[in-house]
Amino acid sequence: MVAKGKKASADAVYAKKTSKSVNPFDNSTAQSSKRGNPFDVHVNKEKFKILGRICKHDRGMPGVSRAKALQKRAQTLGQQFAVKHKTNRFRDNRIGKHLSGDQLTESVMNARYLAEKMSQVRSNQKAEKFNLNDDELLTHRGQTLEEIEQYRDERSDDEELDDEALDADFTAAAHFGGEGDSAQDRQAAIDEMIVEQKRRKNEIAKEKDEVFDLTEKLDANYKLLLPLVAKATKDEQDAKPPPDAYDKLLKEMIFEPRGSVADKLINPDELAKQEAARLEKLENERLRRMRADGEEEEEASIAKPKHRSADDLDDGYFLAGEGDEGDDTLAYDLDGNLGTHLNGKKEAEAKGKENEDDDDEEGEEEEEEDSDEESDSEVDNLSDLKESESESEPEEAPKPSKKKAKKSADTIPASLDTSIPFTIKMPKTYEDFTELLSKHATAQKATIIERIIKCNHPKLEGVNRENVVKLYSFLLQYLKDLFEDASEQDIREHFQLLSKLMPHLYELTQLNPERMSNTLLEVIKEKYGEFRKNHKMYPSLDFLVYFKLVANLYSTSDFRHPVVTPCFIFMQHVLSRSRVRTRQEISMGLFLVTVLLEFVSQSKRLVPAIFNFLQGIVHMSIPKRDVEQLEITPPFERDGPLSKLLALPANTESTKLEPQKLQPADLVTQTITPDFKVRALDTSLLLIKEALQLVEEHVGACYLAQPFLRLLSRLPLDSYPEHVHQHHKEATELAEKLAAQKMKPLAPAEKKPKALRLLEPRFEAVYDDKRRPKMSKAKEERAKLLHKIKREKKGAIREIRRDTAFVQTLRLKQTLQSDKERHEKVKRIYQEASVQQGELNELARAKKKKKF
């Protein structure tokens, strides 16, 4: 029993052991999702292990990376390939698609229609090339024109044409025999029709009479009700309470006139600051042009083409600048004259310029002025830009003397301008222009020119652009004719006319600066060509007047100017080359010196011709023995009769002469008189003083003043009046002061101090790798950059190759899918065809059986 029991327990244990699975992998745990496949891991081995270097690519998973790349390509390239050549959305590409319904004007609709028509032409260009038919379908409010144009005749209710027409019954009876059994003859049918028509007309007339009667009755009843309605309305108004104080105030405020918006009041301090800022801006602009700063930027801006609209008609190309647009409004002044400015500012400025020219031209232009006073006033008188004249004129307002006022009152009567018409047409030829001016006095000529300019202003009509240029040419030619044949009697009157015409010439120049400047420049070139043929003779008086004209019309302080610079050089050539032998040539030379000093009064440039000519005048005023010679520069002579042309004899009594400036007659007179010698020397002394004051700040002022000291010390003053002694003393003191100045020694330009070297550590990368040679830092950086570029290029090529393979795979799948669908369709067609053929064969066999 014991053995049997042990055997049973042993069998049970063995059975328990044998019940387990024989598979050794059944007890292994399932692989978790986070744990990767070890066969997908690729290990990158390194040849050398370097301490401190972290390798980021020692292990990689190519399968995972490849799957991510495929998924990314499927989301990008795959989506693009799927929608290629497909339109899956509607896009509104019409013109004005962002405009609302109210903003869609007829021009927008026309533009849409034109764009649609052009797109149709481009798309069907080949098909429609020889199509002569217009197949376009025009619509209006959703209906075609064929549907609208039905030529319907809408008639009013008063017309009874439909009733008067023959009805269907009558037509059937009269023309086709009718359908009744009892046939009527034709005459009876016509009579019946006439009776029926008369009956209808009577009914219509009766209805109209009834409607008219009812209307008259309604109007009468309404007239009876009107008094009751008006009375009730009046009672309601009377029942309203009287307006209180609030209602009265409200009505007063409603009907009270409203005041216009005014500018903010500015206290005197702010006004002074604004004026100072404006003057500073104008001065900075003048200095910038004088030093020629920023010329390159200006030339670049001028060379750069400005935007011009396709509709631009060039209506304003002649304007001088944008800042003058607001002042060019045409209007009538208080006297009824046609003006060009509403505020009268420029009219007042023109009058101020005219007064200044009257004062300055009589003293200075009449005779090449020389004094300080003349030069300063002329500089401010129309010599700079249009902006600066408005600031300088109030400061140096002209103060006419009593003598001049009396003279102007005598020469210009009050009733003189009444004979001049207010509107004057532009003369067609120069002969007509001179004939027009010859009929009037000097004061009236300026008025005529002013009215011609206003009546032919370019803003009035486009043709006037050429008219103002023609008028400018006529004025230049007229001045040439006046001064070319001037005599001692009329030279003063010509200078007075020039001073009155100066504001109008300036206004013409501002209307079209480019054309006017070119016109004047052509005249200057022509005169310079004549001067070069005989450079030892002074030009005629008319051309010297042109120099004065340039000084008043253009900015003479600019570093470089297209008109002023050629005149500047021309005058220096005349002073340094032309001989001085007569009274006229001396006067012309002093006139040119005065104009040149006016040119350089602001820029303070050094003009050697001025100093040379003034030294020559003083040299000719010194009496010399025949064997005595003083050093002087040509064109003046060291000896001979011309070397003492202005010297006063010892027995001449001229000490009692009053101070006088050079007279206009000196410009046309050849004979030299003692009083002219005194006036010429006095004028030269004043000009010497002014010239030395201009170069007082120059480095070499001492060398410019020393020659004057040598000549002034030899000048005998016993025969000259007291005012010459005073001017000689002032010029000598200034020359001695400048001659005593010492020149500064030359010194190298100051350099910026070199900064000390900073004591900061400089780290340099050290490469001990034997595979690469040692290179500098810049070369090392370049080598790194080239290496990165090479790697990135290889990577980009590799990605492009993989993208191409991915796209080719998609194309292959698409091709296989389409082939599969095509094979299935062909197979289905064959199947259907075989079934159909079987049915046909069955029918054929059935027919054969019937025959037999």
Residue pLDDT, tens place only, 654-712: 777 888 888 888 888 888 888 899 999 999 999 999 999 999 888 888 999 999 999 99
DSSP state of 635: T
Two tokens at 842?
């069955």
C-alpha to C-alpha distance for 61 and 41, rounded to whole angstroms? 5
Bigger pLDDT: 579 vs 184: 579
Range of the domain at 818: 814-852
Give the per-residue pLDDT at 75: 93
- φ, ψ of residue 338 to 5 degrees: the values are -75, 120
Please check whether residues 430 and 574 belong to one and the same domain: yes
C-alpha to C-alpha distance for 676 and 587, rounded to whole angstroms? 10
Give the per-residue pLDDT at 840: 94
**Quick one: angle between helices 491-511 and 513-533, nearest 10?**
130
pLDDT category of residue 238 using cuts at 50, 70 and 90: low
Please check whether residues 431 and 565 belong to one and the same domain: yes
Please check whether residues 625 and 568 belong to one and the same domain: no
Q: Of the residues 716, 743, 770, which one is the last residue of a structural domain? A: 743
- φ, ψ of residue 42 to 5 degrees: the values are -110, 130
Beta bridge partners of 144: 139
Give the per-residue pLDDT at 839: 94
- For range 179-197, the mean pLDDT: 74
C-alpha to C-alpha distance for 60 and 45, rounded to whole angstroms? 11
Two tokens at 463?
């043709």
Please check whether residues 414 and 480 belong to one and the same domain: yes
Q: pLDDT exceeding 90 applies to what percent of the chain? A: 21
Of the candidate ranges 297-306, 387-396, 797-806, the one whose mean pLDDT is the lowest: 387-396
In a domain, 154, yes or no: no
Q: Of the residues 743, 775, 791, which one is the last residue of a structural domain? A: 743
In 405-528 the beta strands, taken as DSSP E runs, fall at none
Choose the most confident range, by mean pLDDT, from 483-497, 509-523, 824-838.
824-838
- For range 577-590, the mean pLDDT: 91
Q: Which amino acid is present at 48? A: F
Pairing of strands 331-332, 338-339: antiparallel
- H helix or E strand, kind and range, residue 147: helix 145-148
Two tokens at 300?
């670049």
- φ, ψ of residue 535 to 5 degrees: the values are -80, -5
How is 807-833 classified by DSSP, letter by letter? HHHHHHHHHHHHHHHHHHHHHHHHHHH
C-alpha to C-alpha distance for 548 and 367, rounded to whole angstroms? 12
Two tokens at 420?
């001049």
Q: Taking the CA atoms of 685, 691, 697 and 701 in sequence, report the sign of the dihedral they define.
A: negative
Q: Specify the residue for token string 């289905």.
A: 828
In a domain, 637, yes or no: yes
Most distant pair of Cα atoms in the chain: their distance: 191
Please check whether residues 632 and 713 belong to one and the same domain: yes
Task: Note whether 383 and 598 are within 8 A (CB).
Answer: yes
pLDDT digits (tens, 9 = 90+) for 353-372: 444 444 444 344 334 434 33
Bigger pLDDT: 793 vs 492: 793
Q: Of the residues 553, 578, 603, which one is the last residue of a structural domain? A: 578
C-alpha to C-alpha distance for 797 and 27, rounded to whole angstroms? 50
Please check whether residues 501 and 627 belong to one and the same domain: no
Give the per-residue pLDDT at 170: 61
Residue closest to 559 by CA, chosen among 197, 264, 210, 288: 288
Report CA-CA distances (Å) from 432 to 429, 478, 633. Answer: 5, 12, 49
Of the candidate ranges 59-68, 240-249, 332-341, 362-371, the one whose mean pLDDT is the lowest: 362-371
Please check whether residues 706 and 841 belong to one and the same domain: no
Task: Note whether 389 and 323 are within 8 A (CB).
Answer: no
C-alpha to C-alpha distance for 362 and 382, rounded to whole angstroms? 17
In a domain, 488, yes or no: yes
In a domain, 756, yes or no: no
Distance of CA 727 to the CA centre of its chain: 54
Residue 619 has a CB neighbour count (10 Å cut-off) of 26
pTM of the model: 0.47
User: How many Cα neighbours within 13 Å face the side chain of 607?
Assistant: 32
Choose the most confident range, by mean pLDDT, from 158-167, 234-243, 268-277, 531-540.
531-540
- For range 618-626, the mean pLDDT: 85
pLDDT category of residue 325 using cuts at 50, 70 and 90: very low
Task: Note whether 525 and 538 are within 8 A (CB).
Answer: no
C-alpha to C-alpha distance for 432 and 439, rounded to whole angstroms? 11
Distance of CA 158 to the CA centre of its chain: 68
pLDDT digits (tens, 9 = 90+) for 820-831: 999 999 999 999
Give the per-residue pLDDT at 492: 85
Residue closest to 806 by CA, chosen among 280, 67, 250: 67
- φ, ψ of residue 644 to 5 degrees: the values are -130, 45
Virtual CA dihedral for 240, 245, 247, 248, nearest 10 degrees? Answer: 110
3-state secondary structure 97-133: CCCCCCCCCHHHHHHHHHHHHHHHHHHCCCCCCCCCC
Please check whether residues 556 and 422 belong to one and the same domain: yes
- For range 53-72, the mean pLDDT: 86
Bigger pLDDT: 295 vs 450: 450
pLDDT category of residue 190 using cuts at 50, 70 and 90: confident
Of the candidate ranges 180-194, 212-226, 537-551, 589-603, the one whose mean pLDDT is the lowest: 180-194
- For range 90-112, the mean pLDDT: 79
Bigger pLDDT: 285 vs 22: 285
Mean pLDDT value across the chain: 76
Choose the most confident range, by mean pLDDT, from 81-85, 532-536, 820-824.
820-824
pLDDT higher than threshold 70 for residue 180:
no
C-alpha to C-alpha distance for 403 and 774, rounded to whole angstroms? 97
Give the per-residue pLDDT at 175: 60
In a domain, 608, yes or no: no
Q: Specify the residue for token string 């420029």.
A: 346
Please check whether residues 706 and 637 belong to one and the same domain: yes
Q: How far apart are the first and last CA of the chain?
A: 101
Virtual CA dihedral for 31, 32, 33, 36, nearest 10 degrees? Answer: -60
- φ, ψ of residue 608 to 5 degrees: the values are -60, -30
Helix ranges restricted to H, 157-185: 161-164, 168-175
How is 366-431 classified by DSSP, letter by letter? TTT--SHHHHHHHHHTT-S-HHHHHHHHHHT-----HHHHHHHHHHS-TTSGGGS-S--PPPSSHH
Q: pLDDT exceeding 70 applies to what percent of the chain? A: 70
In a domain, 838, yes or no: yes
Please check whether residues 626 and 572 belong to one and the same domain: no
Residue 823 has a CB neighbour count (10 Å cut-off) of 10
pLDDT category of residue 719 using cuts at 50, 70 and 90: confident
Beta bridge partners of 661: none
Distance of CA 632 to the CA centre of its chain: 55
Q: Specify the residue for token string 């021309």.
A: 570
Please check whether residues 422 and 518 belong to one and the same domain: yes
pLDDT digits (tens, 9 = 90+) for 143-174: 766 666 554 444 444 444 444 555 666 666 66
C-alpha to C-alpha distance for 274 and 281, rounded to whole angstroms? 11
pLDDT higher than threshold 50 for residue 521:
yes
Give the per-residue pLDDT at 642: 85
Please check whether residues 732 and 672 belong to one and the same domain: yes
Beta bridge partners of 43: 59
Bigger pLDDT: 478 vs 282: 478
C-alpha to C-alpha distance for 707 and 781, rounded to whole angstroms? 69
- H helix or E strand, kind and range, residue 60: strand 59-60
- For range 226-251, the mean pLDDT: 72
In a domain, 715, yes or no: yes
Q: What total of structural domains would you count in the chain?
A: 4
In a domain, 359, yes or no: no
Task: Note whether 616 and 622 are within 8 A (CB).
Answer: no
pLDDT higher than threshold 90 for residue 755:
no
- For range 377-394, the mean pLDDT: 37
Task: Note whether 663 and 363 are within 8 A (CB).
Answer: no
C-alpha to C-alpha distance for 583 and 579, rounded to whole angstroms? 12
Q: Taking the CA atoms of 303, 307, 310 and 313 in sequence, report the sign of the dihedral they define.
A: negative
Two tokens at 783?
């080598």
* Percent of residues in the chain assigned helix, strand, coil, to nearest 5: 60, 0, 40
Answer whether the bond into residue 635 is a cis peptide, omega within 30°: yes
pLDDT category of residue 567 using cuts at 50, 70 and 90: very high
Kindly tell me the burial class for residue 440, based on how many C-beta atoms sit within 10 Å of its own C-beta (0-12, 13-18, 19 or more).
middle
Of the candidate ranges 135-139, 262-266, 392-396, 607-611, the one whose mean pLDDT is the lowest: 392-396
pLDDT higher than threshold 60 for residue 302:
no
Task: Note whether 553 and 506 are within 8 A (CB).
Answer: yes
- H helix or E strand, kind and range, residue 143: strand 143-144
Residue closest to 505 by CA, chosen among 568, 552, 567: 552
